[in-house]
Amino acid sequence: MRRLSAVLVLGLMMVLMVPKAMAHPHAWVDVKSTVVFDDSGNVIALDLDWLFDAFYTVFVLEDITAAGDPPQQALLDLAAQNLKNLHEYNYFLEVLTHGARWDTGAVDTYETNLVGDRLRMAFRVPLAAPLNAKTDAVSFKIYDPTYYIEMVHVEENPVAFDGAPLGACSAVVVEPSPDEEAVTFAAMLDQSQTGPNDLGRLFAQTVQVRCQ
């Protein structure tokens, strides 16, 4: 499981599975986000729900099951180790207020399961301090810094709210607009190469949260 955890973080998950594939990204995650509020109406956490592609799921399950359904405990152990490693990378999450990065805390709430033929991992990332969504211009991005993994919000109901007054908040998912040089550079990277740590940000969606 340590090998699989390292693979997730370093973005080398698919090297053995699709050896002839070229260009980043090489793996895909469908994302749902929930903005979590406290009783005072401040943002205190983000719940992230990741659904990995079927190829990566097969790769993961090779190590934790020989036949039949994978043991739930093995999946939980894998998720715990992955989240421990992802902590160094802020769980692939960048929270912003007025364009400046906002600190996040450590994950201690998570769950995992299979959805059809795809692995799901959901977890809560607490903010280091609350943000006032009415005045602090809250936004966030979810991305693999090296862009080996493409992380995109689902089209239907991509962002939800937990604890916000009904109808008081909305979210807009803004698509990235990388320049031609970045697109060409990413297209030239094969599976044995890792992009620079700012490449993924150029291809990241931005979720803008607005509350009245």
SS (H, E, C) 153-181: ECCCCCEEEECCCCCCEEEEEECCCCCHH
Position 9 confidence tier, pLDDT thresholds 50, 70, 90:
very low
On the question of pLDDT at 16 being above 50, the answer is no
Lowest-pLDDT range of 29-38, 94-103, 123-132, 185-194: 185-194
- String of DSSP letters for 184-199: HHHHH-BTT----TTH
Query: DSSP secondary-structure letter at 105?
Result: -
On the question of pLDDT at 62 being above 70, the answer is yes
Backbone angles phi, psi at 3, to 5 degrees: -60, -45
Backbone angles phi, psi at 131, to 5 degrees: -125, 140
Q: What is the CATH number of the domain that holds 98?
A: 2.70.170
Contact 82, 8 (CB under 8 A): yes
- Assessment of whether the complete model's pTM goes beyond 0.85: no
Classified as helix, coil or strand, 26 is coil
On the question of pLDDT at 37 being above 90, the answer is yes
Report CA 210 to chain centroid distance, whole Å. Answer: 21
Rounded Cα distance between 66 and 192, Å, is 28
Domain interval for residue 182? 2-211
Look over the chain and give the mean of its residue pLDDT values, rounded to a whole number.
83
Candidates 29, 21, 209; CA nearest to 131 is 209
- Beta strands 93-97 and 138-142 are antiparallel
* Per-residue model confidence (pLDDT) at position 29: 97
Tokens 């991992």 appear where? Answer: 121
**What is the arithmetic mean of pLDDT over 18-30?**
63
**What is the arithmetic mean of pLDDT over 57-64?**
81
* Per-residue model confidence (pLDDT) at position 190: 54
101/13: higher pLDDT:
101
165/189: higher pLDDT:
165
* Per-residue model confidence (pLDDT) at position 175: 95
Q: Locate 151 and state its tokens.
A: 């992380």
Rounded Cα distance between 76 and 111, Å, is 7
Rounded Cα distance between 95 and 104, Å, is 8
Domain count, the chain: 1
**What is the arithmetic mean of pLDDT over 171-188?**
75
Q: Locate 141 and state its tokens.
A: 């991005």
187/56: higher pLDDT:
56
Position 146 confidence tier, pLDDT thresholds 50, 70, 90:
confident
